[in-house]
Structure 1
Amino acid sequence: MVSLPEELRVREIAARQRVEELQVGVAELELRLEEARESLSRLEITRETVAQVLAELSAPQGEQDVPVRDAAESIETSAPHGIGAMTVPPWRDGLVVAVLPDVYRDMVEVVADAPGPLQAKQIVPRIGLPATTGKIEGTRAKLKRLVERGWLDEDTPGRFTLARRGPGRDRFNP
């Protein structure tokens, strides 16, 4: 039979080991938290820089000095996934297709060159992707994003055209 003082000593040793293990875990978590904060800081700076560059690229000549805060606000959105910068900015007068990411720019150019409305399945091979269901659905989602942001119109469901007020109508249709 084990004596009560001996049992308490064994439990005390076990509890002390558990405390030491938890302290090591806390130290590791503090290190990971600091790394995550540093990464967040770099991402915030990158987002602000990208916003400023996009604003400068899309600003009419003579308006190149856009404050960083204004540039960031012009591109930010409250996205449900928590990311604060848009890769596809909303279209507005003076904004050129060149500010779009490559794949979005390609889609707008394909739609602009078409004689009429196009479906996603028609656009996919023209931008160099295989005509698989996944690529078609991904492209459709991107096309709808372009509609939401004013670059394209979708008058008939699933059929996309250049926005009537849109991006460089004069550039694509003289």
Structure 2
Amino acid sequence: MVSLPEELQARESAARQWVEELEAEAVELAVRLERAREDLSRLEITRETVAQVLAELSAAEAEPDVAAEDVPEANETSVPHGVGVMMVPPWREGLVVAVLPDVYRDIVEVIADAPGPLQAKQIVPRIGLPTTTGKIEGTRGKLKRLVERGWLDEDAPGQFALARRGPGAGRSNSR
């Protein structure tokens, strides 16, 4: 016959194992959810951009007497926001960090203040996010986007630093 304390200990052990398994599943689901949200965001932006371009083309066809120089360029706005606008513009000479959305600006500023390259898991707490797998993966995606657009460099896998030709080249602080 099993004693009551032994039975309680066995049940506690089984419950602890179940909790650990569920926590592992929750972490995996959080990562998958973050990736799905990023995919959805890219698709929404693409759809909105296409709709805007088609609307502008239709308007230009309807008003043939509008001169080409009267149509504003997509990259003329200093602070991009709104429907169909690329939220992280490609870096070019003279473009400042202030044009980036807040979280991207925070990431660039943290990297600018760092003495060397940083990993996503080091950046997450410095921008005020909890150090969960989902937040780290989301931040890694943002870092990769900043690399693609010329704001950052990834010299070694997972090691992010300011782009040598990018904002603050030769300076330790982006401000």
Q: TM-score, normalised by structure 2?
A: 0.54
Change (3 A) 1:136 1:68: farther
Change (3 A) 1:171 1:67: farther
Name the CA distance, whole Å, in 2 between partners of 1:122 and 1:99.
24
> Contact 2:112 / 2:168 at 8 angstroms: preserved in 1?
no
Change (3 A) 1:137 1:93: same
- 1:107 equivalent to 2:107? Answer yes
How far does the alpha carbon of each residue in 1:106-125 deviate from its partner, in whole angstroms, 9 at most, with x for none?
00000000001100000000
Deviation at 1:69, TM superposition (A): 2.8
2:117 aligned residue: 117
One-letter identity of the residue aligned with 1:96: V
1:87 aligned residue: 87
Higher relative contact order (CA 8 A, sep 6+): 2
> Contact 1:97 / 1:168 at 8 angstroms: preserved in 2?
no
The alignment partner of 2:128 has SS state of coil
The list of structure 1 runs, each at least 4 consecutive aligned residues, that deviate by more than 6 angstroms after superposition, is none
Deviation at 1:44, TM superposition (A): 3.7
One-letter identity of the residue aligned with 2:118: L
Name the CA distance, whole Å, in 2 between partners of 1:133 and 1:169.
31
- 1:166 equivalent to 2:162? Answer no
The alignment partner of 2:103 has SS state of helix
Name the CA distance, whole Å, in 2 between partners of 1:74 and 1:162.
24
1:157 aligned residue: 157
How far does the alpha carbon of each residue in 1:30-80 deviate from its partner, in whole angstroms, 9 at most, with x for none?
xxxxxxxxxx7xx849xx9xxxxxxxxxxxxxxxxx96532x1679xxxxx
> Contact 1:119 / 1:160 at 8 angstroms: preserved in 2?
yes
One-letter identity of the residue aligned with 1:69: P
One-letter identity of the residue aligned with 2:72: R
Change (3 A) 1:67 1:165: farther
Name the CA distance, whole Å, in 1 between partners of 2:75 and 2:99.
16
Structure 2, unmatched stretches of 5+, are 1-47, 57-68, 78-82
Change (3 A) 1:73 1:103: closer
Name the CA distance, whole Å, in 2 between partners of 1:172 and 1:96.
15
Q: TM-score, normalised by structure 1?
A: 0.54
- 1:69 equivalent to 2:66? Answer no
Deviation at 1:141, TM superposition (A): 0.1
> Contact 2:162 / 2:168 at 8 angstroms: preserved in 1?
no
Alignment of 1:119-158 (within 5 A): 119-158=119-158
Deviation at 1:172, TM superposition (A): 3.8
How far does the alpha carbon of each residue in 1:79-112 deviate from its partner, in whole angstroms, 9 at most, with x for none?
xxxx842100000000000000000000000000
Deviation at 1:159, TM superposition (A): 0.5
The number of residue pairs the alignment matches comes to: 106
